[in-house]
Amino acid sequence: MSSGLGFALLLVLAPLLPAVAAKTVAALTGRRGAGLLQPYRDLRRLLGKGVVYGAVTTWIFRAAPVLWLLSAIGAAALVPPAGHAALVRFPGDPFLFTGLLALGRFALTLGALDTGSSFEGMGASRELQIGSFAEPALFVALFTLALATRGSSMSELFGAPVGAAWLTVGASLAMVTLSLGMLLLAEAARGPIDDPTTHLELTMIHEVMALDHSGPDLALILYGSAVRFALFGALLVDLAWPAGGLSDLAATARLGLGLVAVAVLVGIVESSMARLRLLRIPQYLVSAGILASLGALLLLR
Amino acid sequence: MIPLSEALLLLVLLGDFAVLGASRLTFTIRITAFQGFLLGMLPLAIHHPWTGQGFLLASGTMVVKGLVLPNVLRWAMREAAVRREMEPSLGPLSSVAAGLVALGLGLALGRHLPALEPTLPRLLVATSLTTVMCGFLVLTTRRKAMTQVVGYLLLENGVYLFGMTLAGRVPLLVEMGVLLDLLVGVFIMGLVVFHMNRELESLDSARLAELHD
Amino acid sequence: MSLLLLLAVPLAGVVAVSCDPRRARRLVWLALAALAHLVLLGFAWGGRLRDSRVLWLGFDPLGGLVLTLVSVVFLAVAGHSAVYLQRRVPRGGRAYEACLLGFLTSASALCLTDHFGVLWVAMEATTLATAPLIYDPGDRHSIEAVWKYLVICSVGIALALLGTFLLALAQGANAPDLLRSSLVAARALEPMWFKAAFVFLFIGYGTKVGLVPMHTWLPDAHGEAPSPISALLSGALLNLAFLAILRVVQVARAAGQQRLLAPVLIGFGLGSVLVATALLLRQRNYKRMLAYSSVEHMGILTVGIGLGQAAGFGALLHMLGAALAKALLFLVAGNVLIEYRSKRIGDVTGLLERLPISGALLVAGFFVLAGAPPFPLFFSELAILRGAIQAGAPWVAAGLVLLQLVAFIGLGVRIVSMVQGGSAPGESRANESALLLASPVVLLGAALALGLGLIPSLQNVLLAAAATLGGSAP
């Protein structure tokens, strides 16, 4: 599959994933839930609406959703879909990857702070706390992968060498997969970290960032979150289901099926666990980091 | 993929970190029991012609460490209303960080010692030393007497790891003796904890500081 | 007859005691078992008991020496317990006697076995058997003492188990067993594994010996236990743990690792003497004072073995003498406690007036411990000092002399303050039960016999045992 096709597929499939997760939760809790295409309809609806800005906000507030989406798309461009090379690749691009994710979070947080409301301040501190623990964990996971596959670009870390690495250093790869799974829940603001269906302000983390935006801005934020979900999902699929050299159709199917499977798993986790207490979130993220560092230590012996 | 024995050792290591980061007592007891099961499976995973002795040892370990010991501890706690650890000297995050340091030390020491025979898993020395150090950590930084017993169990698990892998060489009688001693030891500790709760109405060992110089 | 009898007799005693509800009969079983054990030991020395393959039992000079010491102390303690317990509110009777006999069984297994694994199991068994005995008074102080004892000693022994397993690994794949005789004969131990094993074994068993810095359980346990049990702990248990270390030393010497031994043993030993002496000077509780004195003497023993040559012989003689003295002192302390009902030194005065024989025994015990002739510690101290000079470490000798002088003054001042002085008005000479005095007197007599060389062929046995540890004639 060519890189462009994979990238486009990722972007198109992105809004589907939250819907699949929500559908899984609904099915497990005895409801029918919203339709699978609901996020697409939401996006179209929001794009057509007008937008309202607070009087105290500046250009930062307007730029935040754009930066959020652009950084997510940029990071997605670095992710190798279906074992092929990514759209953009160069040695050392894991740093760019992490940096883009951090930039997006930073921009969104600044936009929220720009509203001058204390509620957004609270949300911003929570969001940055998650970021400050999740990003080092992500670094460690990428570092362990680099040790295992001896690669220096995301396409090498998640690409062809993974299959061979499972046979030799499978334990470390298992640790990293588990760690990235835990990080997906944090970065995509799902699962036990952040309940996406909550309506209680004091339990929100990511929704606080999105609360004041409206219309197209909100659409950009929702879509950006979905893209982040999708790109982490693609990374997990690359790790857990290494398969290179497939035909275009097979690779497309693999990516699609894999992403849906990840979304279903997320749904299962979400429906079986209550949201973690805020005190526990750093412990959770540090555990993800420790799993990854365990994998690294096993490689260094 | 990975050999079963190495996977078992990895799970033991994960269990160590789980105990370090946990704050609920019953959870930590379950983790040590689970480690006991893993330890019981270890000789079966390593020595491939399964001897009757090995099987006896494995099942004995699993029964004692996995089933009997947690029940002894639960029995000892029946009157005490202790479920959570209160304010240990080292919080869960710091304990886990210390556990990582212990892991690094264990790996370094494992590298320092000469190589094991090829039949034994490579992770053995590191896992054993790390588990011993984590048990020590729990023992010294927790205040509730019950959690100190859990730390002791963790330490014994680490030491027993070695015994499990040497199952062919140490006579069955001795291994059974070790298990029996552990059982009686934990039983007596449970008895003392029970009396401690009766006498002091608390299991906080900070109250056990009257004898000193 | 096989050596198994030495284990079977106390074990039978455990069964008998557990099944008998009447206290008087239980004490009879206890006394009978202790006597029978000592008699059997006599047969063993005469060569009439065969080795046994079960538990790998064998009778060698060192093990026999320690077991005889344990048996003698046990007999004294058992006899004394029978009377002592009737003066206090008795708690779990059956458990007390059963645990005592269980202790004797495991001690026999420990001394006689050739296998390091069985040694470990027996050592842990002695710890577990003595824990309920320490808890016998049942108050909060004894709970604290027994908890510390259990936790610290169990951790130490777990580390010793790790050392035992590492010892098995040190043999390599071709000679896989833990028999001391084959380890000694093998001489082909992998050095790095052996060093790791030695570290863990020393620290582990050293915890039970009471070496600093693993000694923190000792003053509490020996101070809070009932006095006969304190005598058992100081006189017998510490020496059993010391025997375990001696077994490790035997293997280390055979493996050619002597250079590892000396600094470790001398370092920990001197450290123990130093810390024990320093803390001794602060004591206001006479039982804790005696406990710290035990730590000090175990330190001296360790230094002696580390120095080797004449000091090795001296250390073994010192072990015998100090154990007898300690047991004697603790038993007398028990009598004092019954009369004065306080463990504080300040509360005890005029002992020679109220309890003249016990007071005299206390002073006599102090002289035995201080190394006055003709008691054995005089000769053993001389041998250790000679060994220090032979080994080219005169500073060790100087340090030992200095520290022991300080300890002598500290201990002496306190004992004199207890013994002298007039008693409070209204208190008169109390009736001293002869039964409570019998055991201490017997122990004193044994120490005297030891010093005067009245025990036949003891010298040869000591020399034979010391030779395996690098000792020689003084």
**Nearest 5°: CA angle at C85, between C82 and C91?**
125
What is the percent of chain C with per-residue pLDDT over 90, rounded to a whole number?
26
Alpha carbon distance A33, A270 (integer Å): 15
Q: What is the pLDDT at residue C445?
A: 84
Q: Is B108 on the interface with C (CB under 8 A)?
A: no
Which amino acid does the sequence have at C255? A
Q: Could you give the angle at which helices B4-21 and A280-300 cross, rounded to 10 degrees?
A: 150
Query: A154 to each of A81, A82, A140, C439, how far by Cα in Å?
Result: 11, 13, 14, 82
How confident is the model over C440-465, as a mean pLDDT? 80
Secondary structure of residue C174 in the 3-state scheme = coil
> Please, do chains C and A touch (3+ CB pairs < 8 Å)?
no
Q: What is the pLDDT at residue C429?
A: 64
Q: Is A292 on the interface with B (CB under 8 A)?
A: no
Q: What is the pLDDT at residue C187?
A: 62
Residue C115: closest C-alpha in chain B: B174
Q: What is the pLDDT at residue B115?
A: 67
**Nearest 5°: CA angle at B152, between B149 and B158?**
150
Q: Which of A167, A286, A298 sits opposite B93 (nearest CB)?
A: A286
Measure in Å the smallest separation between the Cα of A71 and chain B Cα atoms: 31
Query: C407 to each of C211, C364, C402, C420, C463, how far by Cα in Å?
Result: 17, 16, 9, 20, 29
How confident is the model over C415-420, as a mean pLDDT? 86
Alpha carbon distance A295, A300 (integer Å): 9
Residues listed for chain A? 301
Residues listed for chain C? 474
Torsion angle, alpha carbons of C37, C43, C44, C47, to 10: -170
For residue C285, the 8-state DSSP code is: B
Contacts 24+ apart (CB under 8 A), B36-41: B36/B61, B36/B62, B36/B64, B36/B65, B36/B66, B36/B69, B36/B157, B37/B62, B37/B65, B37/B66, B38/B8, B38/B11, B38/B12, B39/B12, B39/B65, B39/B157, B39/B160, B39/B161, B39/B164, B40/B65, B40/B66, B40/B164, B41/B4, B41/B8
Could you tell me which chains touch chain B, where touching means 3 or more CB pairs under 8 A? A, C
Q: Which of C131, C158, C173 sits opposite B156 (nearest CB)?
A: C158
A111 CB-near residues (< 8 Å, 6+ apart) = A60, A61, A63, A64, A65, A209, A213
Q: Is A301 on the interface with B (CB under 8 A)?
A: yes
Span C382-410, pLDDT tens digits:
888 888 888 888 888 888 899 989 989 98
Q: What is the pLDDT at residue B52?
A: 78
**Residues of chain A whose pLDDT is less than 50?**
none
Q: What is the pLDDT at residue C258?
A: 76
Instruction: Return the closest-CA partner of residue A269 out of A173, A196, A207.
Output: A196
Which of C113, C169, C275 to probe by mutation at the B interface, max B CB count within 10 Å?
C169
Q: What's the complex ipTM?
A: 0.90
Contact list, A294 vs chain B (CB under 8 Å): 10, 13-14, 17, 103
What is the percent of chain A with per-residue pLDDT over 90, rounded to a whole number?
47
Q: Is B10 on the interface with A (CB under 8 A)?
A: yes
- Cis check: omega of the bond before C376, within 30 degrees of 0: no
Domain ranges of chain A: 3-300
Span C39-50, pLDDT tens digits:
888 888 887 777
How confident is the model over B176-202, as a mean pLDDT? 83
Q: What is the pLDDT at residue A283?
A: 86
Contact check, Cβ <8 Å, C224/B173: no
- A8-22, A224-238, B82-96, C457-471: which has the minimum mean pLDDT? B82-96
Q: What is the pLDDT at residue A140?
A: 92
Alpha carbon distance C433, A78 (integer Å): 93
Measure in Å the smallest separation between the Cα of B1 and chain A Cα atoms: 5
Q: Which of B1, B7, B103 sits opposite A297 (nearest CB)?
A: B103
pLDDT score of C426 more than 90: no
Q: What is the pLDDT at residue B213?
A: 67
Q: Per the structure block, which two tokens stand in for C110? A: 């420990």
Q: What is the pLDDT at residue C90?
A: 56
A42, A214 contact by CB (below 8 A): no
Residue B180: closest C-alpha in chain C: C121
Q: What is the pLDDT at residue B25?
A: 82
In this structure, how many other beta carbons lie within 10 angstroms of the beta carbon of residue B213?
14
Alpha carbon distance B96, C440 (integer Å): 54
Higher pLDDT, C121 or C346: C121
Residue C457 lies in a domain: yes
Contact check, Cβ <8 Å, B122/A301: yes
C42, C456 contact by CB (below 8 A): no
pLDDT score of B205 more than 60: yes
Q: What is the pLDDT at residue B167?
A: 64
Residue B91: closest C-alpha in chain A: A283
How confident is the model over B82-107, as a mean pLDDT? 78
A199 CB-near residues (< 8 Å, 6+ apart) = none
Contact check, Cβ <8 Å, A287/B96: yes
In this structure, how many other beta carbons lie within 10 angstroms of the beta carbon of residue B71?
12
Span B4-37, pLDDT tens digits:
888 888 889 999 998 888 878 888 888 889 998 9
Contact list, B7 vs chain A (CB under 8 Å): 171
Contact check, Cβ <8 Å, B178/C178: no
pLDDT score of B1 more than 60: no
Query: C191 to each of A31, A134, C256, C322, how far by Cα in Å?
Result: 68, 45, 9, 35
Residue B108: closest C-alpha in chain A: A301
Torsion angle, alpha carbons of A179, A180, A183, A187, to 10: 170
Max avg pLDDT among A61-65, A282-286, C2-6, C450-454: A61-65
Q: Which residues between 165 and 194 in chain B have a beta carbon less than 8 angstroms from any beta carbon of chain C? A: 166, 168-171, 173-174, 177-178, 180-181, 184-185, 188-189, 192
Measure in Å the smallest separation between the Cα of A172 and chain B Cα atoms: 10
Which amino acid does the sequence have at C419? V
HSE, side-chain direction, 13 A CA sphere, residue A184: 27
Could you tell me which chains touch chain A, where touching means 3 or more CB pairs under 8 A? B
In this structure, how many other beta carbons lie within 10 angstroms of the beta carbon of residue C276?
27
HSE, side-chain direction, 13 A CA sphere, residue A166: 13
Which amino acid does the sequence have at A16? L
pLDDT band at C448 (very low <50, low <70, confident <90, very high): confident
Span C236-291, pLDDT tens digits:
999 999 999 999 888 888 777 777 788 889 999 999 999 999 998 888 888 999 99
Higher pLDDT, B168 or C101: C101
Contact list, B110 vs chain C (CB under 8 Å): none
Secondary structure of residue C344 in the 3-state scheme = strand
Q: Which residues between 47 and 66 in chain B have a beta carbon less than 8 angstroms from any beta carbon of chain A? A: none
Which of B69, B128, B133, B213 to probe by mutation at the C interface, max C CB count within 10 Å?
B213
Q: Per the structure block, which two tokens stand in for C352? A: 């020679």
Residue C374 lies in a domain: yes
Q: Is B113 on the interface with C (CB under 8 A)?
A: yes
Contact check, Cβ <8 Å, C193/B114: yes
pLDDT score of C120 more than 60: yes
The domain total for chain C is: 1
Q: Per the structure block, which two tokens stand in for C459? A: 């010298």
For residue C362, the 8-state DSSP code is: H
How confident is the model over C371-384, as a mean pLDDT? 86
Residue B194: closest C-alpha in chain C: C143
Q: DSSP string covering B85-102, please?
A: ----SS-HHHHHHHHHHH
Q: Is B213 on the interface with C (CB under 8 A)?
A: yes
Residue B208: closest C-alpha in chain C: C144
pLDDT band at C53 (very low <50, low <70, confident <90, very high): confident
Provide the domain limits for residue C347: 263-474
Q: What is the pLDDT at residue C185?
A: 67
Q: What is the pLDDT at residue A290?
A: 87
Alpha carbon distance A178, C78 (integer Å): 62
Alpha carbon distance C364, C444 (integer Å): 8
Which of A172, A290, A294 to probe by mutation at the B interface, max B CB count within 10 Å?
A290
pLDDT score of C188 more than 70: no
Q: Which residue's entry shows tokens 């947080």? A: A109
Q: Is B27 on the interface with A (CB under 8 A)?
A: no
Which amino acid does the sequence have at A175? M
